[in-house]
Structure 1
């Protein structure tokens, strides 16, 4: 139209260009002598991020990388529903149907025992040809798929299968599983929208691996599958097409965006290394899930906030499907309220925030493009190191040991307050009333003790139990296993609460590698330590476990009548940890922000 005003070009020509060196000079001047290096953000991966990035950062990359395209826009909202062992799954299938009616795009079933899962009822209630369904199983994956195809012959399945045997949860590497995995590929070779082979990178992420380790070790897993599975029955190209990736997403917002982008780029490199078309990276399906590693039992509604940033990172980073855990999944049975919140979180990000309308929205960002490149380079170097040492499965033990070391460092940083977990070690709700019973939770075999916050949580829960026992004047006593070397973390945390002139001295420090314990009697609480052997023999005595029973894992919480417990603690040689001038109860009360 003639009256439509023409848009004027925006050039900002009146503003002179400013180089990185000029920005750095201004930064040094404003800091008034303080070292600009103090503003850097050190990552656990071994490198630091700068306080600002400039267009010259893209020049260092050889120009802005091309945006990462995906086969489909947006992402699938995929709630995860656990199906307990020895159940037909009817209740869970009905939950899945309701979730699909209320905005979910598909369902991810985690099957504890797939033989009892009623596939006929599943086929009756859910239209498989139109419904995206993921299945995680610990056994009989090929049998499950065979049964499913027999019940629904000719159906073109949509979704994925993750076969995660307990002995080898990161990719079914051993020869025992190769026949089953090849059969999965053969059964679904004519189903382009069903991926039966999983690279379970979430296994690494949910045990505390750094971002670099998660990407590298996932690539090592994929390389093992590409190396060992192809034979005269299934080709290399068929194995590659059957693969998809599971990744756990933590609250580190920008790093997680870059992680997914780096992984997709490195997937192209991996395919090229095997002589496959690199453009297959665009069709790689990445399933992201909120990390169990960062979930907490203390102030649990903060998990909703963590899940929000995790979900945003996942979808902005290019995830194809997303599972958001209920905020209370660590300590509560599945329930409609928290399941609805987790399902709606993804819907809000899509329908109200519009995050699925742009592919690769991080493309061109000076910061995220540089971070993506750094993560990709570091992860590829680590991947090559593992491959040069024999790859998987040969290096599996070494990989797990490296993750364990990183996780131990994270435990210590959280326990001593150097790394903040809101509501757990900072900004706690000291008047919090638990919606669960601490004793039952600690005794539960399902309680996830591998999470980052666990050492801090168990101390808080054990202390709460002690104060409750004392108020009720209970005549029983308890010993709670706090973890390995937790006494030292307790001491460091306690010292941080004191004024300089109040700083205590350690009368006895427990040796490296010993278990930390809290002995709670009706009158007092005492921090103690014992060797793993001492604690195991103690637990066997308390629960009257015969010595010839080989496979016995001591529970976290042991309780008995007071005289028996006192005598057993003495006989088995538990040692008290002492803080000069303070009783255990005073230490615990101060840490909990309450009066002893």
Structure 2
């Protein structure tokens, strides 16, 4: 029960009240006989949004909506800094100190390796007792905490720790690293402002899950930890109190506000099911991150606009901390310019828009309250379905398959133009000059190929690279991995460039589950497909990687001399994809706007 007095209702007596029936009559009149149901917005989550909501919508909710509790301080602006493998982190620690002087409220270090990170230098440079410092590690989270405690004796740390073991599927740490996670809980037992157990829901969101799936699967992950970690040394309540949740925020404004609010509601329901007191649920901390799923390399300044709406959704939805990624993170080395823009976005929302001065601005909205309730119901149903099937880790494969199906549906909507990605599949800059080198980017093993726009944008990048090679008369050849099942996306994009009377068809479509490839020689380009196993063997052959090296991950771009490439393509059995009536060169030229 809140200890603040209820606000007086706002009345606009000079305006006549309009009933739902009157709104519906006006809607019908304006539509000139068209069925208002056609204005419903069907969501991938499985339910639809109505064209308008009115007062009666709140009466259908199970209880009267209550605003979120007002935080003691506004959300924390926490930039993320990546510390490369086997480095001491001194440059990133210096950047952190500068960022804190220029408006950041905390820092999140993502450590590729833990052992080489200079914790002593960190403790000497940053006041850890008063600074929110977070860490993502792939190994030894308990060792990092021990080093922090040793180098900052008597300091109650502030921040969080996220453990993402390398090579393990998301959520596996609960079952494979129980003793390590329990030790993290014990080490931070006297640090109420440091959360050592992370629920990484951003993993699901950044691979194309719906809001319902991201919320539900995050709850499944939390339920597994709550079930497996408590023992004689660590209590259930301790585990719950040291948890925090990461969620990826997409640029779908009201949907994402509702997602955060729904998660808080369901977190309370989950902890109640475990018999924990209500005040433990109130201590939940949500860390929001701008999504990698919606980032683009084409017309990249549009990422700034995406991040703006993502950040607003996060803070209006009640996030406790926020990391805004640089707009050029996909293709550029870390730089002061994009880092400053990312940091200042959160500062502007607080200092100029004053979003931190209003308690739960979305509270009471007919639309958002109804949306929140629908999303919470759907997510809880999904959560219960997976728990009934055995919960994590048993249902992990099923969860990832459901996300894959959702992501593929998104790829198809983007390819057909049903879902707009500004600057990529609509409103493109055909004369765009890349600020990066497509060949180097596609060759990079760190290039993110999991994004929604990837199948569409890689066509532009690979095509630009092919035409550049042909103009330079390069004698080398290349194979570019376009992704799984991308041939249909190529066809869909190509059809949009043709007149209606032209109806090319794929003469022999590739089997499901295969990879789409672009073979680029000095004279021509050919669209092909191969099985994942064929491509892995092909890549090992081109790079001369021994078969006994287990963890080889092929890059997107493979290059070699023409004769070697042609022979390898033949030996490994790649099949050509044919578009009836058009050569690959003509298809790619149209896609490039030539």
**TM-score normalised per structure 1:** 0.95
> Hey, what's the Cα distance between the residues in 1 that align with 2:175 and 2:212?
28
* 5+ long unaligned stretches in structure 1: 1-8
Q: Counterpart in 1 of 2:361?
A: 361
Q: Counterpart in 2 of 1:50?
A: 50
Q: Secondary structure at the match of 1:433?
A: coil
Q: Counterpart in 1 of 2:440?
A: 440
What displacement does 1:367 show?
0.3
When structure 1 is superposed on structure 2, of 532-541 and 489-498 the one drifting more is: 532-541
Q: Counterpart in 1 of 2:20?
A: 20
What displacement does 1:29 show?
2.5
What displacement does 1:548 show?
5.0
Q: Does structure 2 retain, via aligned residues, the 8 Å contact 1:254–1:368?
A: yes
What displacement does 1:453 show?
1.1
Deviations 1:248-277 (A, max 9, x none): 111010000001101111111111111112
Q: Does structure 2 retain, via aligned residues, the 8 Å contact 1:294–1:451?
A: yes
Q: Secondary structure at the match of 1:508?
A: coil
What displacement does 1:34 show?
1.9
Q: 1:476 to 1:132 in 2, by over 3 A?
A: same
> Hey, what's the Cα distance between the residues in 2 that align with 1:120 and 1:546?
40
Q: 1:384 to 1:339 in 2, by over 3 A?
A: same
Q: Counterpart in 2 of 1:534?
A: 534
Q: Counterpart in 2 of 1:237?
A: 237
Q: Counterpart in 2 of 1:326?
A: 326
Tell me if 1:459 matches 2:439: no
Q: 1:98 to 1:549 in 2, by over 3 A?
A: closer
Tell me if 1:379 matches 2:361: no
Tell me if 1:302 matches 2:318: no
Q: Does structure 2 retain, via aligned residues, the 8 Å contact 1:40–1:51?
A: yes
Q: 1:112 to 1:593 in 2, by over 3 A?
A: same
Q: Counterpart in 2 of 1:127?
A: 127
Q: Secondary structure at the match of 2:403?
A: helix
Q: Does structure 2 retain, via aligned residues, the 8 Å contact 1:289–1:324?
A: yes
Where in structure 2 are the equivalents of 1:64-83 lying within 5 Å?
Answer: 64-83=64-83
> Hey, what's the Cα distance between the residues in 2 that align with 1:505 and 1:171?
43
Deviations 1:264-318 (A, max 9, x none): 1111111111111223333211110101111111111111000000000000000
Q: Counterpart in 1 of 2:5?
A: none
Q: 1:563 to 1:315 in 2, by over 3 A?
A: same
Q: Counterpart in 1 of 2:280?
A: 280
Q: Counterpart in 2 of 1:473?
A: 473
Q: Does structure 2 retain, via aligned residues, the 8 Å contact 1:169–1:203?
A: no
* 5+ long unaligned stretches in structure 2: 1-8
> Hey, what's the Cα distance between the residues in 2 that align with 1:573 and 1:416?
30
Q: Counterpart in 2 of 1:5?
A: none
Q: Counterpart in 1 of 2:112?
A: 112
Q: 1:151 to 1:491 in 2, by over 3 A?
A: same
What displacement does 1:566 show?
2.4
Deviations 1:560-579 (A, max 9, x none): 22222223333433322222
> Hey, what's the Cα distance between the residues in 2 that align with 1:270 and 1:217?
13
Q: 1:549 to 1:238 in 2, by over 3 A?
A: closer
Deviations 1:138-183 (A, max 9, x none): 1100111011111111111111111111344534444431111111
Where in structure 2 are the equivalents of 1:96-107 lying within 5 Å?
Answer: 96-107=96-107
Number of aligned positions between the proteins = 586
> Hey, what's the Cα distance between the residues in 1 that align with 2:252 and 2:376?
17
Q: Does structure 2 retain, via aligned residues, the 8 Å contact 1:173–1:392?
A: no
> Hey, what's the Cα distance between the residues in 2 that align with 1:24 and 1:571?
66
Q: Does structure 1 retain, via aligned residues, the 8 Å contact 2:201–2:218?
A: yes
Q: Secondary structure at the match of 2:65?
A: coil
> Hey, what's the Cα distance between the residues in 2 that align with 1:188 and 1:34?
61
What displacement does 1:62 show?
4.9
Tell me if 1:197 matches 2:203: no
Q: Does structure 2 retain, via aligned residues, the 8 Å contact 1:318–1:359?
A: no
Q: 1:537 to 1:195 in 2, by over 3 A?
A: closer
Deviations 1:180-201 (A, max 9, x none): 1111111111111111111111
Q: Does structure 2 retain, via aligned residues, the 8 Å contact 1:181–1:197?
A: yes
Deviations 1:213-271 (A, max 9, x none): 11011111111111111111111111111111111111010000001101111111111
When structure 1 is superposed on structure 2, of 263-272 and 25-34 the one drifting more is: 25-34
Q: Does structure 1 retain, via aligned residues, the 8 Å contact 2:61–2:370?
A: yes
Q: 1:168 to 1:508 in 2, by over 3 A?
A: closer
> Hey, what's the Cα distance between the residues in 2 that align with 1:563 and 1:167?
36
> Hey, what's the Cα distance between the residues in 1 that align with 2:134 and 2:52?
41
Q: Counterpart in 2 of 1:559?
A: 559
When structure 1 is superposed on structure 2, of 506-515 and 360-369 the one drifting more is: 506-515
**TM-score normalised per structure 2:** 0.95
What displacement does 1:400 show?
1.2
Q: Counterpart in 2 of 1:184?
A: 184
Q: Counterpart in 1 of 2:501?
A: 501
Q: Counterpart in 2 of 1:311?
A: 311
Tell me if 1:519 matches 2:519: yes
Q: Does structure 1 retain, via aligned residues, the 8 Å contact 2:111–2:136?
A: yes
What displacement does 1:593 show?
1.4
Deviations 1:478-529 (A, max 9, x none): 1111111211111122112212112223333222222211111112211122
Q: How much is the aligned-residue C-alpha RMSD, in angstroms?
A: 1.7
Tell me if 1:399 matches 2:366: no
> Hey, what's the Cα distance between the residues in 2 that align with 1:417 and 1:437?
27
When structure 1 is superposed on structure 2, of 263-272 and 315-324 the one drifting more is: 263-272
What displacement does 1:322 show?
0.4
> Hey, what's the Cα distance between the residues in 2 that align with 1:10 and 1:452?
43
Q: Does structure 2 retain, via aligned residues, the 8 Å contact 1:163–1:172?
A: no
> Hey, what's the Cα distance between the residues in 2 that align with 1:175 and 1:13?
60
